[in-house]
Amino acid sequence: MPYVKVGEENSGDIEIYYEDLGAGQPVVLIHGFPLNGHSWEKQTAMLLDKGFRVIAYDRRGFGDSSQPSRGYDYDTFAEDLNKLMTTLDLTDAVLIGFSMGTGEVTRYLSTFGSERVSRAILIGAIPPFLLKTDDNPEGVDQSVFDDIKKAIASDRPSYFTTFFENFYNTDKLGGGILSKARITDEAVQMNWNIAVKASAIGTLKCVDTWLTDFRDDLPKIDVPTLIIHGDDDRILPFDSTAKRLPDSIKNSRLVVIEGGPHAIIWTHADEVNPEILKFLGQANEKMA
């Protein structure tokens, strides 16, 4: 199992687990909260089949990466990504972030630039700024995040049950394996199993990280960027997030998945994957 060392805490190393599969142009997949790199399975198979090299890693605190008590902020997450990029000496790479992973893509490009990156994809985006303030009326009230932190601290496994109901909109899209459902009970259970193994400290600290203000980062993105978002996203509401991004990212294009929940990389992979491939095929062209 390959790891890259990104730091130390007391007597132990902080290591990021990654998988490096296939050959060709590198595509780096950055997962969402509270999952791991395997959450990209419907995209990984497609990208490998199309001749891309696929690198998926687990964010610190999640999956098979180390679970330190610190570093759950986007400056550190971007530094972790940069360490992976430089260790593997990736060039002409595509960065694809989902949910929390879109923050890594944004902060990485703002901080480290695009020398190693040719394009970016933001799916279920967290930028530009999730918190409602006087100068950000489109955001979400602080009380919502306070309640989430209380729920996690009180009963983290129970919180995840409710979280995944809204992650997948199971009341609309769920059902048994033989139904026409877009998400099965078994797939939800698989994700719950992954989530409860994550760092309890990291899970709680990530809630504050969601409130990072990316408004100064976005204009620094200088690569073609595709934005994909579901219009029925209950985790990161469309009007507060992706709808606002084309005005801040030059040479970007927004694709809205009708009826899509937050986790469109699973429920609507049949619509998301063709958009990814179409974008990769026109990466060096200016988008209308």
CB count, 10 Å around CB of 165? 14
Residue reference for tokens 């932190």: 149
| DSSP label of 129 | B
Q: Which domains does the chain have, with CATH numbers?
A: 3-130+212-281 (3.40.50.1820)
- For residues 285 and 254, the answer to whether their CB atoms sit within 8 Å is no
In Å, what is the CA distance from 100 to each residue of 12, 30, 111, 135, 275?
A: 26, 8, 17, 23, 20
Q: In whole angstroms, give the CA distance from residue 86 to residue 94.
A: 14
Residues in a beta bridge with 16: 4
Q: Please state, as a whole number, how many other Cβ atoms lie within 10 Å of the Cβ of residue 255.
A: 18
Q: Which residues pair with 94 in a beta bridge?
A: 27, 119
Backbone angles phi, psi at 184, to 5 degrees: -95, 160
Per-residue model confidence as pLDDT tens for the chain (288 residues):
799 999 999 999 999 999 999 999 999 999 999 999 999 999 999 999 999 999 999 999 999 999 999 999 999 999 999 999 999 999 999 999 999 999 999 999 999 999 999 999 999 999 999 999 999 999 999 999 999 999 999 999 999 999 999 999 999 999 765 567 899 999 999 999 999 999 999 999 999 999 999 999 999 999 999 999 999 999 999 999 999 999 999 999 999 999 999 999 999 999 999 999 999 995 444 444
- Known catalytic residues are 99, 233, 262
Strands (E), the chain: 3-9, 12-21, 26-30, 53-57, 93-98, 117-123, 174-175, 183-184, 225-230, 252-257
**Structure-block tokens of residue 267:** 């429920």
> Using alpha carbons only, what angle is made at residue 282 by residues 96 and 52, rounded to the nearest 5 degrees?
50
